[in-house]
Amino acid sequence: MASEKYCVVVPERFQTDPNCGTICDLFDVVWLQDFLDNTEKYREKIQGHFSTHTTFSEDVVASMPKLKVVSAYGVGVDHLDVGMYSRYGVKIGNTPNVLNDCAADQAMTLMLASARKLVNGFDLLRKGQTSVCYTYAYLGNRVTGSTIGIVGMGRIGYKVAERAIGFQMKVLYHNRTRRSEEEEKHINATYCSNLDDLLSQSDFVVLVTPLSAKTKGLIGADQLKKMKPTAILINIGRGPLIDQDALVEALKAGHLGGAGLDVTDPEPLPVDHPLLDMSNVTIAPHLGSATKATRQVMFDMCIENIKAGIEGRPLASEVLPS
């Protein structure tokens, strides 16, 4: 007799994913919207939650006696109240390290595209206005030999720095804790204990820090004023790291050269949001980990986290309450 499958809530996005068959073979799948519409029907059955950007309220979690694990499909867990889940004996997993290179690649993609006005050039090409590309207004910023300031020198930030030295960039960084002398030497980096010092010197500021109560609104009107008027702000962390209203005003006033954003607040932005109409802003729909190979490893780790949590084994990667 076949063993009973574990009952797991899974987002609908995986219905069109190549791994849909694997999920359905492994688990008794309850699609997220079905669960939200029929919580009372399923609450006593659910044992795990495959979470992208979704979470459950405490009332719902309290009513789910068999829930043992939530695995985030990514490294960030700012959408999950880890402490609350922990109080109900629910473990939280995530997928760190596997997306470090892809996220760093995305930072460089946004930096290069923003600096060299790639999207603007493509728009002009589609309109048959390529002669405009050679006017002064459409000249971009030089990347090679410029100064990059990395805010958040964790695993991903360090990967960004490794790529930056390939462009002969001067690397500055700001972090809660300073890297070792050997680590700094490897990327030829200078530590800035004061964020303002980094902002005032950098041609490109790259945000790679996690979102927390302390980092929300890390870059606001005051910080933007300290940046060079030609500087470009890159964000691959989380949208709320930046005060977006202040960013819009700084860009409108010409106090900032441009922005390259993989993350926004909210996601996606409303189609009438002013950032989407600015020629000096490049926005991607949160594609930091979006390669086939990386997403497959993330998927495999999520599956292992869920199985381990339900079976009472250590998770491949567990996030503990702070």
For helices 155-164 and 100-115, the axis angle rounded to 10 degrees is 50
CA nearest to 12, candidates 37, 36, 35, 33 = 33
Residue 92: which region, alpha, beta or left (left: phi > 0; alpha: psi -120 to 50)? Answer: beta
CA nearest to 263, candidates 240, 238, 243 = 238
d(CA 257, CA 247): 11
Is-catalytic flag, 249? no
Is-catalytic flag, 79? no
Residue type, 287: L
Catalytic annotation, pick one of 286, 295, 304, 311: 286
Contact at 8 Å (CB) between 60 and 81? no
Catalytic annotation, pick one of 267, 304, 313, 318: 267
The CA-based dihedral angle spanning residues 46, 51, 55, 61, taken in that order and rounded to the nearest 10 degrees: 20
Is-catalytic flag, 174? no
Catalytic annotation, pick one of 43, 179, 238, 295: 238
The residues pairing with 205 across neighbouring beta strands, listed in sequence order, are: 149, 233
Exposure letters 108-137 (e unless 16+ CB within 10 A, then b): bbbbbbbbebebbbeebeeeeeeeeeeeee
Active-site positions read 238, 267, 286
